[in-house]
A = this chain, B = another copy of it.
């Protein structure tokens, strides 16, 4: 007999069916017992005659039986006269219950037991949402003529400043884990004009915060033949609108960094926004513009990497932006330098060095271009209201956590 899923139960009322899944919960009432079966789509109620032995929670079972309508059962139907077969039995009692509406175990305990904790419907749902977010990102960029790429995660020199980089023994020589695909996506503008990548990025983040991890999933894009950073922001807007069901304005409000500081009465010499600033701006844009999103543009050059394009009329600022979502930075981007001579000058002025093969890209002609990166786990954390990005990362990596 073909297996059906719990969400298909009601459509099979009156028929004999086969379900498979996990024992989510046993409920022993006075005259009857219920098994609640969990499969990948939801829950199903199995009515078990009194006196039968009930398999413990997380036993993998197959159930055949007759579907009858029951408006108070999950999905409006339940299984009666079941035959229950165990496919795999748990080898130990569970460290915490999965059947309550919320997991009561503390987050570190959940993370220690991730293979179990992630089975909880609420935790699981965040990662199904995460998959939909990524699908929305790709669908948007595919529709705009972007090509997906896969770039090296082991590199010969640190992508950005060299801070917080993981070092590696690469056949006896030093190598590093890529902090971003930045250089590669710029190289690929010369090939496909418009590229994106969904992949891991690595930061040896020394701080223990709810916003940073040693590995995260970066949604990266880069496009050529732009006028300036506003063409990039238009793509970000399209992507973000497809990445959630949150209302995204046709044009996301934008405020220049200098104007944002002035609005908050902050020191005009501040080189960056503090988390408190971002929260303040998140409240402000919701109140004043009814938007959950805000672009902050024109960040000072001093806090942006060497490849950043300066703002032509105010060269201490840059053609860059961050996207705030509910008061937290979830995306960063901007226009990049594109002339070989500008790279040589910018690196000399900062006393920085990069691999020659990166500079070769610009030696052979690259159009005005820009791009952006969205941190997947952070974006999803904002969507589901999770305070800690570890709640939206399947198996988080931080200074202390290397397993599971």
Interface residues of A (CB under 8 A from B): 3, 20, 22, 39-40, 58-60, 87-92, 94, 112-116, 118-119, 124, 127-128, 130-131, 134-135, 142, 145, 147-156, 166-171, 173, 175, 177, 183-184, 187-188, 190-194, 198-200, 202, 204, 206, 214-215, 217, 225, 338-341, 355, 357-358, 360-368, 376, 394-395, 397, 399-400, 402-404
Q: Contacts A128-B147, A153-B153, A200-B150: A184 and B394 contacting too (C-beta < 8 A)?
A: yes
Chain B residue contacts of A87, Cβ below 8 A = 225, 338, 367-368
Given contacts A200-B200, A364-B116, contact A135 B148 (CB under 8 A): yes
Are A366 and B60 neighbours in the complex by a CB distance under 8 Å? yes
B127 close to A214 (CB less than 8 A): no
Contacts of A152 in B (CB 8 A): 215, 395, 397
Interface SS majority for chain A: mixed
Contact: A171 with B399, CB < 8 Å? yes
Q: Are B91 and A362 in contact (CB under 8 A)?
A: yes
Bound together, the chains give a CA A95 to CA B345 distance in angstroms of 24
User: In the complex the two chains form, what is the Cα distance from A93 to B112 in whole Å?
Assistant: 57
- Does A357 lie within 8 Å of B90, measured CB to CB? no
**A91 contact set on B, CB distance < 8 A:** 340-341, 362-364
A191 to B58, CA, bound (A): 11
Instruction: Give the 10 A-B CB pairs with smallest separation, nearest first.
Output: A357-B404, A91-B340, A115-B361, A40-B193, A58-B365, A115-B187, A156-B402, A131-B148, A91-B363, A156-B403
Contacts A114-B357, A193-B39, A202-B154 known; A90 to B364 CB distance under 8 Å? Answer: yes
What are 13 A-B contacts with C-beta separation under 8 Å?
A: A59-B365, A90-B364, A124-B191, A128-B147, A131-B147, A151-B394, A153-B202, A154-B397, A168-B168, A173-B402, A175-B402, A183-B404, A357-B404
Quote the shortest CB–CB distance from A151 to chain B (angstroms).
6
15 additional A-B residue pairs with CB within 8 Å, beyond A88-B368, A134-B148: A39-B193, A40-B193, A87-B338, A115-B357, A115-B364, A118-B191, A119-B191, A127-B191, A149-B394, A154-B215, A166-B170, A170-B402, A171-B206, A187-B404, A357-B403
Contact of A169 among B167, B184, B198, B340 (CB under 8 A): B167
Chain B's closest residue to A194 (CB) is: B40
Establish whether residues B166 and A166, one from each chain, have CB atoms under 8 Å apart when the complex forms.
no
User: Would you give the shortest CB distance from A146 to chain B, in whole angstroms?
Assistant: 9
Instruction: Report the bound CA distance from A153 to B3 in whole Å.
Output: 35
Number of copies: 2
Q: A144 CB to closest chain B CB, in angstroms?
A: 11
Verify B184–A395 contact, CB threshold 8 A. yes
Nearest CB of B to A394, in Å? 6
Q: Which of B112, B200, B225 contacts A20 (CB 8 A)?
A: B225
Q: In the complex, what residues of B have CB within 8 A of residue A192's CB? A: 40, 124, 127-128
A168 and B166 within 8 A (CB): yes
How far is it, in angstroms, between the C-alpha of A173 and the C-alpha of B402 when the chains are bound?
10
Query: Considering the chains assembled together, what is the distance between the CA atoms of A59 and B340 in angstroms?
Result: 12
Asked, given contacts A119-B190, A360-B115, whether A339 binds B88 with beta carbons under 8 Å apart, the answer is yes
Cα distance, A399 to B172, chains bound together (Å): 9
A364 touches B148 (CB 8 A): no
Are B215 and A153 interface neighbours, CB within 8 A?
yes
Provide the residues of chain B in CB contact with A131, threshold 8 Å. 147-149
Closest Cβ of chain B: how far from A291's Cβ, in Å? Answer: 28
Please give, as numbers and ranges, the residues of chain B lying within 8 Å of A200 by CB-CB distance: 150, 153, 199-200
Contact residues in B for A155 (Cβ distance below 8 Å): 402-403
Chain B residue, CB-CB nearest to A59: B365
